[in-house]
């Protein structure tokens, strides 16, 4: 299979054309189908190395990349700032100019502060593809697996399908804006109508909102913002709800957590995905979440364990997308 993606960085899905993404999905679907048939692909990245630099923890992203490159015949190195000289101040340029001599690709997760700028700086100096494993603004490998999951469910026919991207009141800490921002940017490009729902304190970055609106306009799809999960769910085909922080409203973490918690006071269910909300969505609608979710806080167990939930297929598709990304950017596919 031929693709034109060799050597390409993946920092934001906006950097890839719709044609690039369709090529990638074709490879991912093929890997998925052939794995189910017991066909091996261990020649594709034979003796190649993918570096995984994690500034934060991960279950899905790390293990999908690591299992994925093993299945393709290569090897992954798990790196952290502490396990390298990054914690001692080694620069982006010095780090990548060394690693590019040892391996063929690198993924980076840095979800707070200046993660995206850090990746762009690495990419500026890198001769090997740089993959964003999540930054403060974007989570491209997740949102591409989400697109794969939705295409699979709706037989590739996304025109006019409604996706709700909703805030939920997730406890304990401030989650980044990367998931809602990635979803509202990508899905309109593939014909989906996007309804973003959040309370007033949880707005997203204005530049990314503008990109989402332009993407919708160019593709002839719709983009709207409402302040009620229930209103958003009416007639939805996909309900994708997760927590994020009031990052555009306050920089104070304690204040942020207090605002998040205030939307759950006195058993308030307005921002929880429950059966009542799924019942006002379309009968064939699906529930999605990138995981990890807070059970019975963001979503009821009845919904997440119920027949409309596709969360495990969605997480499973991370493997096929990661393999497709590495194969297409690091090999001569
Ligand atoms: N969805 C996701 O990125 O999961 P991890 O944080 O476990 O990698």
pLDDT digits (tens, 9 = 90+) for 120-153: 999 999 999 999 999 999 999 999 999 999 999 9
Same domain, 200 and 212: yes
pLDDT tens track for 208-247:
999 999 999 999 999 999 999 999 999 999 999 999 999 9
Same domain, 245 and 203: yes
Radius of gyration of the chain (CA): 20
To test the ligand 1 pocket, which listed residue (112, 318, 319, 321) has its Cβ within 8 A of the most ligand atoms? 318
Phi-psi region of 12 (alpha: psi -120 to 50; beta: other; left: phi over 0): beta
High-pLDDT (> 70) share of the chain, %: 100
- Burial of residue 118 (number of CB atoms within 10 Å: 0-12, 13-18, 19+): middle
pLDDT tens track for 247-294:
999 999 999 999 999 999 999 999 999 999 999 999 999 999 999 999
Same domain, 19 and 134: yes
- What are the helix (H) ranges across the chain? 18-36, 60-71, 92-99, 115-125, 140-153, 178-186, 206-219, 229-233, 253-262, 275-280, 301-304, 311-330
Number of the ligand 1 atom closest to the C-alpha atom of 56: 6
| pLDDT attached to residue 149 | 98
Same domain, 232 and 303: yes
With CA atoms as reference, report the closest residue to 321 among 189, 139, 51, 121.
Answer: 139
Which CATH number is 254's domain given?
A: 3.40.50.1370
Cβ atoms of 291 and 321 within 8 Å: the answer is: no
pLDDT tens track for 67-117:
999 999 999 999 999 999 999 999 999 999 999 999 999 999 999 899 999
Same domain, 255 and 287: yes
CA distance 203 to 111: 18
Same domain, 171 and 130: no
Name the DSSP class of 73: T
- Burial of residue 297 (number of CB atoms within 10 Å: 0-12, 13-18, 19+): middle
Number of the ligand 1 atom closest to the C-alpha atom of 64: 8
Same domain, 11 and 52: yes
Same domain, 263 and 160: yes
Lay out the sheet containing 193-197: strands in order across.
Answer: 223-226, 193-197, 162-167, 238-242, 286-288
Sign, CA torsion 138/144/146/150 = positive
21 contact partners, CB below 8 Å, separation of at least 6: 13, 144, 147, 189
Same domain, 126 and 158: no
| pLDDT attached to residue 273 | 98
Helices vs. strands in the chain: H and E counts, helices first: 12, 9
Q: Measure 38 CA to ligand 1 centroid, in angstroms.
A: 27
pLDDT tens track for 313-330:
999 999 999 999 999 999
Q: Which residue has a Cα nearest atom 7 of ligand 1?
A: 59
Our count of domains for the chain comes to: 2
Boundaries of domain holding 282: 142-311
Same domain, 121 and 256: no
Same domain, 174 and 296: yes
Number of the ligand 1 atom closest to the C-alpha atom of 133: 3
Q: Measure 266 CA to ligand 1 centroid, in angstroms.
A: 30
CA distance 26 to 20: 10
| pLDDT attached to residue 30 | 97
Q: Which residues line ligand 1 (CB under 6 A)?
A: 58-61, 134, 142, 290-291
Q: Which residue has a Cα nearest atom 6 of ligand 1?
A: 58
3-state secondary structure of 274: coil
Number of the ligand 1 atom closest to the C-alpha atom of 291: 1
Same domain, 296 and 210: yes
């Amino acid at each position: 299979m031929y693709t034109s993606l060799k050597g390409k960085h993946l920092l934001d899905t906006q950097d890839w054309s719709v044609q690039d993404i369709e090529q990638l999905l074709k490879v991912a679907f093929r890997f998925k189908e052939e794995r189910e048939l017991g066909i091996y692909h261990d020649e594709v990245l034979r003796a190649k190395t993918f570096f995984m630099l994690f500034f934060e923890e991960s279950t899905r992203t790390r293990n999908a990349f690591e299992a994925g490159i093993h299945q393709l015949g290569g090897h992954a190195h798990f790196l952290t700032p502490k396990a390298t000289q990054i914690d001692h101040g080694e620069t982006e340029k010095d780090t990548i100019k060394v690693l590019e001599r040892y391996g063929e690709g690198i993924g980076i997760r840095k979800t707070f502060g200046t993660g995206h700028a850090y990746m762009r700086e690495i990419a500026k100096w890198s001769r090997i593809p740089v993959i964003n494993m999540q930054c403060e603004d974007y989570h491209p490998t997740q949102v591409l697996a989400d697109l794969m999951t939705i295409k699979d469910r709706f037989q590739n026919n996304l025109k006019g399908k409604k996706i709700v991207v909703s805030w939920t009141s997730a406890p304990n800490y401030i989650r980044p804006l990367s998931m809602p921002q990635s979803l509202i940017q990508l899905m309109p490009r593939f014909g989906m109508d996007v309804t973003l729902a959040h309370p007033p304190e949880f707005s997203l970055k204005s530049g990314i909102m503008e990109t989402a609106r332009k993407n919708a306009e160019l593709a002839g799809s719709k983009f709207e913002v409402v302040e009620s999960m229930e209103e958003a769910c009416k007639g939805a085909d996909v309900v994708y709800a997760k927590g994020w922080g009031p990052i555009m409203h306050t920089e104070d973490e304690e204040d942020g957590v207090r605002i998040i918690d205030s939307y759950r006071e006195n058993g308030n269910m307005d921002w929880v995905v429950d059966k009542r909300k799924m019942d006002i969505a379309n009968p064939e609608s699906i529930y999605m979440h990138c995981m990890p979710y807070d059970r019975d806080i963001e979503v009821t167990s009845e919904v997440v364990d119920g027949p409309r939930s596709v969360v495990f297929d969605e997480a499973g598709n991370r493997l096929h997308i990661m393999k497709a990304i590495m194969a297409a950017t690091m090999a001569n596919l």
